[in-house]
Amino acid sequence: MTETADELSAPLGQTETRRRRRIRLPFTGWQALAVLLGLFLVIFAGFALFHDDPLGGEPMARIAINNGAKPTDTKPGAAKPERKSEPQGTAPAGQESNSGAKTVTIIDGSSGARHEVAIGSGATDGSDSSTTAPATAMIGVDPRLLEKSRYGMIPVSADGLKPFTAYAADADRAKAAKMPVVAIVIGGLGVGAAKTADAIMKLPPAVTLAFTPYGSDPGKLAERARAQRHEILLQIPMEPYDYPDNDPGPQTLLATLAPDQNVDRLYWHLSRLQGYVGLANFMGARFVATDSAMQPIMAEAAKRGLAFFDDGAAPRSVANALATGQAMPFAKGDVAIDAVPTAVEIENALAKLESLAKDRGVAIGTASALPVSIERIGTWIKGLDRKGILLVPLTTAMLKSKSN
């Protein structure tokens, strides 16, 4: 009744006005919470899409491996190197740091962690980077037999002393001169630490070990090999006939490059480790068959007091003739022991090596560090004494071949 009276006594139109002044919220509390959550998701998605971190915040460490250089940290998200051939006269493709070091990405198989490993300078512009090259030598390396290049320390002859004689493994050369001898060269070492360690530790010191310039720290592995009294070679990547489909790796020596460009690349390889008695080809069927390409490399090796070992895979190789012209120590592989990596075929190859040693006085076999190869070669070596054959380091076989 009172409400009716109030409505009758109120001024015309004011009752409707009071009703319209009631405030209504645009949405409930649950609706507000949903809106806030949506805004949060939009912001988070935008950060993930546009933030410059393709690894999603995954930790990454860059290890600068350049004959003992200290590791440095790098920001996550660095570009991965691209493995492809480059036009002649340029450094191989790949990420380069401010100092010009090429890096490769290594993924830890157990943890999945990625690491970028610098494998040395790829500079080819002639700039002097020797100020950033390490000046320290490996343990047991004579500092007189080193000189600084723009990539690091490289071997050199000095005061009548040569790396070939300074780093040759011990051997009974008088005994070797009187009986058949065999030398074994295990190649492709330095990249896989486990297989390299097997070759170092499971084979006797008279076995010669050949290291590629790649891997996270080939210098340390080579140092370990020398500590176990193995003599070592440095394998130089050279151009095969099917390059670039078959690419030995960064800084490969190419038959189409100018001599000074190949020598510059050679210096890069020489700086990767120290204490080797000589060089060996790593692949390179086309390069070792090209006289104009090989001649400057052989001359440089001879000047620095190094030997050269031809693995024997390229029948048209000119290395022997060039080594003779330079009066430098040389040898060529006779038998590829694990060309067919089965126990039976390895046994057959070793029997052939024995026969060659007895016929010619010297025979040289080559092999990789496959587990079956290491196991069969190790067992075979133990029976050589009763067969009247002596296992010798490669340098001893070279010297005997020269005297024959």
Summarised one tens digit per residue, pLDDT across range 168-197 is 999 999 999 999 999 999 999 999 899 999
Q: 165 lies in a domain?
A: yes
Residue 84 burial (C-beta neighbours within 10 Å; 0-12, 13-18, 19+): exposed
- Looking at residue 397, its pLDDT comes to 98
Residue 352 burial (C-beta neighbours within 10 Å; 0-12, 13-18, 19+): middle
- Looking at residue 403, its pLDDT comes to 73
Total structural domains in the chain? Answer: 1
Q: 103 lies in a domain?
A: no
Q: 98 lies in a domain?
A: no
Q: How many CB atoms lie within 10 A of CB 225?
A: 28
> Which DSSP string corresponds to 145-201?
GEEE-SSSEEE--BTTB-HHHHSPPP--HHHHTTS-EEEEEEEEETS-HHHHHHHHH
- Which tokens sit at 246? 């078959």
Q: 12 lies in a domain?
A: no
Tell me the per-residue pLDDT of 342-364, one tens digit each, with 9 for 90 and over.
Answer: 999 999 999 999 999 999 999 99
Above 80 in pLDDT, residue 225?
Answer: yes
User: Closest Cα to residue 245, out of 289, 283, 281?
Assistant: 283
Task: Look at residue 61 and give its three-state secondary structure.
Answer: strand
Contact at 8 Å (CB) between 185 and 366? yes
Q: 16 lies in a domain?
A: no
More confident residue, 326 or 42: 326
- The span from the CA of 234 to the CA of 281, in Å, is 8
Q: 19 lies in a domain?
A: no
Contact at 8 Å (CB) between 234 and 218? no
> Which DSSP string corresponds to 225-243?
HHHTT--EEEEEEE--TTT
Domain coverage including residue 293: 143-403
Above 90 in pLDDT, residue 68?
Answer: no
Pairing of strands 60-64, 72-73: antiparallel
Residue type, 29: G
Tell me the per-residue pLDDT of 364-380, one tens digit each, with 9 for 90 and over.
Answer: 999 999 999 999 999 99
- Which tokens sit at 75? 């920001």
Which residues, in sequence order, are bridge partners of residue 277?
none
Above 90 in pLDDT, residue 36?
Answer: no
**CATH code (residue 361):** 3.20.20.370
Indicate the helix (H) or strand (E) that contains 304. none
Above 60 in pLDDT, residue 238?
Answer: yes
- The span from the CA of 1 to the CA of 330, in Å, is 126
Contact at 8 Å (CB) between 395 and 168? yes
Q: 355 lies in a domain?
A: yes
Q: 339 lies in a domain?
A: yes
Above 70 in pLDDT, residue 291?
Answer: yes
Q: What is residue 11's DSSP assignment?
A: P
- Looking at residue 399, its pLDDT comes to 95
Mean pLDDT of 202-211: 98
